[in-house]
Amino acid sequence: MSFMTLAHYLQIMDRSWRSQDGGKIATFISVRHEHAKYANYQLEMPEGLVDKFLVSPVDELVVLHLKCLYYLGKEDYLTAYQQQSTLVQTFAKILQAQKEENWSLPIMYTICSDLRLIAQQAEKQKVGVNEKPGEILEKAAECLMGCFRVCAADNRSGEEDTKRIGMLALVNQLFKVYFRINKLHLCKPLIRAIESSPFKESFSLSQQVTYRYFVGRKAMYDSNYKSADEYLTYAFENCHKASRKNKRLILIYLVPVKMLLGYIPSKKVLEKYDVIQFWDLVQAVCQGNLKLFDELMEMHESFFIKCGIYLIVDKLKIIAYRNLFRKVYLILNTHQIPVEALQCALEYLGQDVDLDETQCIVANLIYEGKIKGYISHQHRKVVVSKQNPFPALTSLT
């Protein structure tokens, strides 16, 4: 079994390079394309053959690509990574030398995401002693930065053929690396570069969706929930409806952010995108059922941690407190709620708190404007406002 003959493949490459068909070369230089699976492409020393068909500089790229395939076939991901890394660096030089043209950008997109994927594999394979986790991915990021600099520095070309249009795809690749190796602080300069770019609106929609997904997540980690909501909502609404997996990913972050801002997701949406784990949580928060809340936190702990939302979901507990206290207020039907009553409700729901801690929880709610009123320590009473003591969460800024 084989794909097409190597000679045929090389001829296609030659023709595409001459006709500046970036898209075609991108397809045929991808390690994810069908040809990559066939043994006749996996060559340790392809130089001789390649030189017969191809001229500089594309010959070098193809040689490195075939070598990379060779090591991938052997499942030696570290060496494969090194080949691919050289490939990207070589390409960056070629790209830099191409003035006033940007037809080769699709090649960059493909080899850069291949680089990241191979780096991830190499990272998994690495078992050595003393090795730092994330080291290979970090190197890959440096390599991607090389391309990014070439693109960002291209400020002489006209709008039609500027390489700066390639920046966002690289930024997205870099985001993927930085989020994986937990180096979020490195995202800031990238975000600044994109936000100040004159081509901000001309990047392709799919890239914009990816970009907003990551920027939204970063805003969430920075406790900047309003802007997290904005970015993630854009991503969710503009993500292609066939990309259910991506829509689901966006929802995993959008749901807790929205809930923190006082919006409740519908069961239908949660079911549709297979994030029904959140439904019980929604119930627990709305009812102020802290016992259920604690149980859910424990039950879904590894899911929440894996997605990196454990801390923000934990914050929803504050909303649950508010809802519970509101219930106590409605039951007692008084503006002077004894702290004992609140503590009693908390204890009933399995919370190990005394009067002081109950007061502390209430104090925080008052400070955040979620309860209107004040606490009297002498009388151990929470005195709430006669008008709208528990304002709607969505009305808070």
Partner 1 sequence: MESLNSYIVGTCREMCPLEETEMREKRKLLHVLEILPGTETDWMPKADRSRMVKSFSRSAAGKAMQDPKNLRPPDVLLKTLNYLLEDVISRKDISWTVIYDFIMDRLRSVRQDLVIQNASHAYCISILQPIVRFHAYASYRLCEEDINNFDPVINSTHLQECLKRLLCMYDCCDELYETCHANSEEMNSFLVENRPHFEAFRTDLVETALELSLSYRNNNFVRVCRIIKQLPTLLLAVGALYLPKIRRNALKVMSVAYSCKNLVFPATALRSLLLYDDEEALIKDCKYYGLSVQERGLPPVHQDFINERLNNTNISTLILFGD
Chain positions contacting partner 1, by CB under 8 A = 129-130, 132-133, 301, 305, 310-311, 314-315, 317-318, 353, 356-357, 359-364, 366-367, 374-378, 383
- C-alpha 339/C-alpha 379 separation (Å) is 9
Residue 62 beta carbon to partner 1: minimum distance, rounded to whole angstroms: 24
* C-beta separation of 211 from 168 below 8 A: yes
Measured from the CB atom, is 103 or 310 closer to partner 1?
Answer: 310
Element housing 20 (H / E): none
Measured from the CB atom, is 243 or 334 closer to partner 1?
Answer: 334
Residue 299 beta carbon to partner 1: minimum distance, rounded to whole angstroms: 15
* Cβ count within 10 A of residue 204: 11
Measured from the CB atom, is 266 or 376 closer to partner 1?
Answer: 376
Residue 359 beta carbon to partner 1: minimum distance, rounded to whole angstroms: 8
Measured from the CB atom, is 166 or 373 closer to partner 1?
Answer: 373
Tokens 């997109």 belong to 109
Residue 348 beta carbon to partner 1: minimum distance, rounded to whole angstroms: 19
Sheet holding 373-376, edge to edge: 336-338, 381-384, 373-376
Contacts 24+ apart (CB under 8 A), 153-162: 156/99, 156/100, 157/99, 157/100, 157/101, 157/102, 158/100, 159/199, 161/100, 161/101, 161/102, 161/103, 162/102, 162/199
- C-alpha 208/C-alpha 274 separation (Å) is 24
Residue 307 beta carbon to partner 1: minimum distance, rounded to whole angstroms: 12
Residue 364 beta carbon to partner 1: minimum distance, rounded to whole angstroms: 5
Measured from the CB atom, is 241 or 386 closer to partner 1?
Answer: 386
* Cβ count within 10 A of residue 4: 14
Q: Which residues contact 211 (CB under 8 A, 6 or more apart)?
A: 168, 171, 172, 175, 194, 203
Measured from the CB atom, is 289 or 359 closer to partner 1?
Answer: 359
Measured from the CB atom, is 58 or 122 closer to partner 1?
Answer: 122
Residue 250 beta carbon to partner 1: minimum distance, rounded to whole angstroms: 23
- C-alpha 54/C-alpha 44 separation (Å) is 18
Residue 1, helix vs strand vs coil: coil
